[in-house]
Structure 1
Amino acid sequence: MERYQRERRFNRIAWARTLPPAVLVAAVVSDLVWTPFNTFPLLATVSVTAAPVYSLVWTVTSGGVALLTGLLLAFRESEVVISRPNVIGFTTLVTLTVVAAFLNRIFAREREQLRTSRQVAEAVQRAMLPTVPERVPGLALATRYQAAQEEALIGGDLYAVHDTPRGLRMVIGDVRGKGTQSAGLVNTLLGVFHAAALQTPDLPSLVEAAEIQVQDLKAREEDAPYEDFVTAVFVEILPDRSAFRMANRGHPPPLLVHGGHVTTLEPKEPSLPLGLGDLAGPVVPVDRYDLPPGATLVLFTDGIIEARDRTGAFFDPVPPLAGPLPPDPGAVLDAMLAALFRHTDALDDDTAALAVTRLPGEEGEEGEETGAAVRP
């Protein structure tokens, strides 16, 4: 995801860098086409437009080039360069160049502070998230995480994977809000997931353990808003990898990609997010699906589907995945994210994605159950 962000930022900066020379050319052309035209206002903006995107040296250089251009244009019109209007124009050029130099330093300092804040926030977020293995018997896995461009706070996206004798258990979730409070919920959920993944006998028990911990954390924190919650999807892939169970707690539905087709795995019975379980019944709805060889299960947080283009349209991850893709979770995620960054200029929320592919020709351990038909 970082590669797409860098390409997008590079394109925006490249476009902005063309503005100072374009203004300079416009001033020269205007003076040549219409001699009475006063070019000094245009020339005075050259250094100012350079300040946000150029270095200090090039900002001052752009002001010097504009000043030299003004002198040459003034000399072309009249051999008497030192006139009152020209002196005022040259003084304005020099003054704005000095101002642009100060602005350049301010912009550079602000950019560096913002870059450092984002790097620290993303480093902390990555440190909280566990390392996901690239392969387990019969399966390949891949993850992607990207902090929002406009935010420097620690986000609440999380994912984790744990291979157990009962199957590969996974979770992806999104904590409401940002900052230290969301970080506490992330750590709580990751801790209870890894402990319960080994101890609980089935997927509903794992979900219930997570619900209890979120409720307990909210009860112990006096300033925790009642509406704090965590949307999450829990998945358990059977030991023989033929099928998987899924419990969706108010999270965007995952996608099953296979043979050029994409199936949206909407839950049969909607469930409230974690932290709001006291408002619902005690039963944890669980759906069951086949996982054919070569199929890829894609899970993601709402930062992806809530990304908007310039018209306000939301991103739809289904079309970029409805085509010939290799049975490789990294390639599937890259295809989705490449389309995402073609769709939007900036992410308003953190995004996390987790994909798992059943490898053709490889089998997991023998399980207690065999595959079942995918529920339409």
Structure 2
Amino acid sequence: MSQAREHGGGHRPIRPPTNVLPALPLLIVSALVLADLVGAAGMIWLPLLVAGPALAATTNGPRGVLGVGLLAVVLGATLGVRDGVPDAELAAVLSALLTVTLASGLASALRGRRERVLAAVRSVAETAQHALLMPVPATVGPFQVAVRYSAAAAEARIGGDLYALMPTPYGVRLIVGDVRGKGLPAVGTAALVLGVFREAAYDEPDLLAVVDRIERSLARNLGADDFVTAVVAGYPRAGQLEVVNCGHAPPLLVRDGGTVVPVDPAHPAPPLGLRALAGHAPDLQTLPFADGDQLLLYTDGVTEARDHGRAFYPLAEGLARHVSDEPARTLTALHDELLAHVGGRLHDDAALLLLRKPALPGPATPALDCGTPVTQVVDVAD
């Protein structure tokens, strides 16, 4: 999801055009035939014709492989007779060509079957992704929103990072979190957290009560060593943002002037699922959030991304460089810079969610009648 569930974006390896690849086996066979015609070398070139059907197994279907193989057999027989190759040697070469062609055709059929299975698995994963990490629209309530999500696994569509943002009767509420571990268990835990959050966010007037609902659910369902770090935030009224940090990386607040400030919790709290061990609950932070301000929430796959020199990616500095009035453009620039920092591929799931409070246009000022005396003009704009 390009709103950022990217699974992609950024630096991609340069690949040959796909419409050229199926023709490569024919080009190889043609080059060998041309070399034999020019050099009349006979048995020197004929055995190399097996390269045609062997390569076709990686670029063509079974019919293409058989076509290239039969062409190689016909050309090999013709050249062998032309060059006076002994019958026994020519028969051995042609038998090898037929054997390689049949084996390559079987390999091509198996490859096609695996590709179909992989495509089906990807389709299921894509469906699961949209069910778990629902697409976030570009505008939610009074906010402009953008999301980028990248799974570390090359063929993955979902991972252990989670996010959700929705309007509720108590204002816009959102969560960004990171499940301990990877694989299907992490995905299951992420689904549990998001399900409880989506329900509690609509039911609970108090943001801390939403966090308590998630904590109780995880306490019943997680193992002793499992936990989830998360930031839960809400916008209950104009100009005011509430933040609850449960062992997660501090969000970055961008003031209208471009200053980037980390929102560190006054009293650090344990991750979700570990409250019973720590013995204390998280605090609710309230901070002003004016028109033009932005808030970036992220997971540790971003801040713990290292370059070849083992240096971490400086997210706050990157955000200050790329911040703009368009959250989608800001996150695209950050994501591209992050991929460049790590050399093209992340080694952990990474999620970025940026919301911005745009300035509301003031009410239009009515035209004044110049013939009417005006004793006072009152500006009612906020």
TM-score (structure 2 length as normaliser) = 0.70
Q: Counterpart in 1 of 2:272? A: 274
Q: Which residue of 101, 106, 110 corresponds with 2:105?
A: 101
- Residue 104 of structure 1 deviates from its aligned partner by 0.9
Q: Which residue of 80, 91, 107 corresponds with 1:87?
A: 91
2-side partners of 1:110 and 1:312: how far apart?
37
Q: Which residue of 295, 299, 306 corresponds with 1:297?
A: 295
- Residue 99 of structure 1 deviates from its aligned partner by 1.0
Letter in 1 for 2:357: R
Higher CA-based Rg: 2
Range that drifts further, 336-345 or 6-15? 6-15
1-side partners of 2:191 and 2:293: how far apart?
31
Q: How does 1:241-280 map to 2 (within 5 A)?
A: 242=239, 244-256=241-253, 263=260, 265=262, 267-268=264-265, 270-280=268-278
Q: How does 1:71-220 map to 2 (within 5 A)?
A: 79-130=83-134, 132-145=136-149, 149-150=153-154, 155-164=159-168, 166-177=170-181, 181-182=185-186, 184-200=188-204, 202-218=206-222
Q: How does 1:7-22 map to 2 (within 5 A)?
A: 11-12=14-15, 14=17, 17=21, 20=25
2-side partners of 1:312 and 1:56: how far apart?
47
**What SS does the corresponding residue of 1:46 show, helix, strand or coil?**
helix
Q: Counterpart in 2 of 1:360? A: 359
* Alpha-carbon spacing, 1:357–1:37, altered in 2? closer, same or farther (3 Å): farther
- Residue 229 of structure 1 deviates from its aligned partner by 1.6
- What root-mean-square deviation, in Å, do the aligned CA atoms of Structure 1 and Structure 2 show? 4.5
1-side partners of 2:197 and 2:97: how far apart?
64
1-side partners of 2:134 and 2:315: how far apart?
25
Letter in 1 for 2:358: L
* Alpha-carbon spacing, 1:192–1:46, altered in 2? closer, same or farther (3 Å): same
**What SS does the corresponding residue of 2:271 show, helix, strand or coil?**
coil
Q: Counterpart in 1 of 2:380? A: none
* Alpha-carbon spacing, 1:166–1:57, altered in 2? closer, same or farther (3 Å): same
2-side partners of 1:264 and 1:96: how far apart?
65
2-side partners of 1:147 and 1:306: how far apart?
14
Is this contact kept in 1: 2:322–2:333, CA < 8 A? no
**What SS does the corresponding residue of 1:237 show, helix, strand or coil?**
strand
1-side partners of 2:91 and 2:163: how far apart?
65
* Alpha-carbon spacing, 1:282–1:332, altered in 2? closer, same or farther (3 Å): same
**What SS does the corresponding residue of 1:331 show, helix, strand or coil?**
helix
TM-score (structure 1 length as normaliser) = 0.71
**What SS does the corresponding residue of 1:51 show, helix, strand or coil?**
helix
Is this contact kept in 2: 1:207–1:234, CA < 8 A? yes
- Residue 121 of structure 1 deviates from its aligned partner by 2.3
1-side partners of 2:40 and 2:315: how far apart?
53
Range that drifts further, 261-270 or 276-285? 261-270
**What SS does the corresponding residue of 2:214 show, helix, strand or coil?**
helix
Is this contact kept in 2: 1:52–1:104, CA < 8 A? yes
2-side partners of 1:201 and 1:266: how far apart?
23
1-side partners of 2:77 and 2:308: how far apart?
43
Q: Counterpart in 1 of 2:372? A: none
Range that drifts further, 341-350 or 180-189? 341-350
Is this contact kept in 2: 1:141–1:354, CA < 8 A? yes
**What SS does the corresponding residue of 2:272 show, helix, strand or coil?**
coil
Q: Counterpart in 1 of 2:230? A: 232
2-side partners of 1:9 and 1:179: how far apart?
24
Is this contact kept in 2: 1:150–1:348, CA < 8 A? no
Letter in 1 for 2:101: T
- Residue 6 of structure 1 deviates from its aligned partner by 8.9
1-side partners of 2:80 and 2:309: how far apart?
46
